Amino acid sequence: MADTSIEWTQRPGTIGAVWNPTTGCDKISAGCDNCYALGMARRLKAMGQAKYQNDGHPVTSGPGFALTTHPDELSTPLRWRKPRTVFVNSMSDLFHARVPADFLIGAFGVMAATSDRHTYQVLTKRPERMAKFFTTPGLLAEVAYQGAQRCENADSIHDAILTGPWPLPNVWLGTSIELDKHVGRADALRATPAAVRFISAEPLLGPLPSLDLTGIDWLIIGGESGPGSRPMELAWVEGLIGKARDAGTAVFVKQLGKVWAGSGKGGDWSTWPEHLRIREYPTERVAVTA
């Protein structure tokens, strides 16, 4: 898909982008109630974009937003020559239960085949499946095979992936946590091998006193925007920043929410309290050579 203005993809030296090899999802927790992607899908459907016109599972996903895989999209990053920081599935969840394992392997194969130029940010509300996937025996061999099949120099790409570092150094894996009752998602994330592990506390709907940031490299914090936005208290943000400082976790405050700002996406950065103007990026872990 097209380049994006999503704040946390704007890393120096790269182009921010989104890539949607799947679209559609199901609501599983309160953070999904005002789903941005669902609203966008409805607008795109009205504009005649057939990619989003899948009306299966209308009760859980909403009309036109059933989970759909797009095999033709898998090779898109191979055509991007300039380095990009890529948010994977802004319109879906890659670890949704109805995404086939073979399709997941194909997606990560493409990420592996483009490790020389792109960095990928994969965010899920289903980290338990992600942890299980990344601890599957023989996964690297499958990823190497699937990644190489889409490249002209298949043999060299295959060997480079198979003998390169694992976990993939250009893939950041994260989970969303919007309420304290979901902090267990961080445990599943910690059980997942990754160059960078991150948590998106967006939309932050309450304080997270039980959140353990041990082993978490990056924390994104944001309020809710759009119709029906719920308020975010600045004390919740301050509490998370304190936790992150204690854990050595990088902090990225994306926005303060529409309710706080009164309009727009969290208001003008210059109007924020100065101690909340924090936009840091994580340091990648040293990957182990496979």
Residue range 187-239, pLDDT digits in tens: 999 999 999 999 999 999 999 999 999 999 999 999 998 778 899 999 999 99
| pLDDT for 131 | 98
Identify the bridge partners of residue 198 per DSSP, sorted by sequence position.
174, 218
pLDDT, tens digit, for every residue of 23-33? 888 888 988 87
Whether the pLDDT of residue 135 is over 60: the answer is yes
Whether the pLDDT of residue 266 is over 60: the answer is no
116, with CB counted inside 10 A (0-12, 13-18, 19+), is exposed
DSSP 144-185: HHHHHHTSTTHHHHHHHHHHSEES-TTEEEEEE--SGGGTHH
The C-alpha atoms of residue 94 and residue 110 are separated, in whole angstroms, by: 14
Pairing type for strands 288-289 and 165-166 reads: antiparallel
For the chain, the C-alpha Rg in angstroms (whole number) is 19
What residue type is 272 in one-letter code?
W
- Nearest to residue 66, comparing CAs of 75, 55, 78? 55
pLDDT band at 288 (very low <50, low <70, confident <90, very high): low
What are the residue ranges spanned by the domains of the chain? Answer: 1-163, 194-290
The C-alpha atoms of residue 61 and residue 85 are separated, in whole angstroms, by: 28
Half-sphere exposure of 55 (CA within 13 A, CB side): 2
The chain-wide mean pLDDT, for the chain, equals 88
Long-range contacts of 74-78 (CB under 8 A, 24+ apart): 74/21, 74/103, 74/106, 74/107, 74/110, 74/150, 75/110, 75/150, 76/1, 76/19, 76/21, 77/19, 77/110, 77/111, 77/114, 77/118, 78/110, 78/113, 78/114, 78/150, 78/151
